[in-house]
Amino acid sequence: MASFQRAAVFSLVLMSLLWGSSQAKDLLVGGKTDAWKIPSSESDSLNKWAGKARFLIGDSLVWKYDGQKDSVLQVTKEAYAACNTTNPIEEYKDGNTKVKLDKSGPFYFISGAEGHCEKGQKIVVVVLSQKHKQVGYVGSPAPSPVEFVGPAVARTSSASNLKGGLLVALGVLVLGLF
């Protein structure tokens, strides 16, 4: 009977961990409200921020900006490289843009304001495939375009990691009681 109880508790703890780490997140682009602007330097590039984050299917990117002066354009890889604003996949002008990342692979975004993309106001976000979506995954860098250099780190906007750690500790404690 005790082994059945241990197995049941362990299963509950494992399901809680999987649920807590798989929740979709709203991620503020650049990590701050005024990040959608021409970068002051290469180190201020939004691609530096994107290269350090983990993006999963179901997450959403959120931009905060002045919709009277700027916009966000989702574009192809070619339009991104050429800063071509003429035929975007999607155009957002509301100043509070939210884009759901609904598939794995790269997403390309540029500013719609004249001359801003050429000055570095653009970002590529690489969404991990389902096979990379593992509990506690902090392995090698996320697949990324050639423009990025540097290792990826664990997702930054999650209290679920803390919750998951607490659940593991609770599970170990409970299992030790049986």
**Domains in the chain, CATH or no CATH each:** 23-149 (2.60.40.420)
Task: Compute how many other C-beta atoms are within 10 angstroms of the C-beta atom of residue 4.
Answer: 9
- Asked whether 101 and 58 are in contact (CB, 8 A), the reply is yes
The per-residue b/e assignment along 6-43, b for 16 or more CB within 10 angstroms, e otherwise, is beebeeebeebbeebbeeebebbbbeeeebbbebeeee
Closest by CA to 62, choosing from 90, 40, 34, is: 34
- Asked whether 169 and 13 are in contact (CB, 8 A), the reply is no
Return the bridge partners of 105, or none. Answer: 127
Confidence of residue 42 (pLDDT cuts 50, 70, 90): confident
Confidence of residue 44 (pLDDT cuts 50, 70, 90): confident
Rounded to an integer, the average pLDDT of 57-84 is 97
CA distance 117 to 137: 33
CA distance 129 to 132: 6
Alpha-helical runs (H) found in the chain:
2-21, 46-52, 77-82, 160-177
Rounded to an integer, the average pLDDT of 110-126 is 97
**Residues, the chain, total?**
178
Please name the residue that has the structure tokens 């990025």: 148
Query: Can you give the pTM of this predicted structure?
Result: 0.64
Confidence of residue 14 (pLDDT cuts 50, 70, 90): very low
Residue 152, pLDDT score: 39
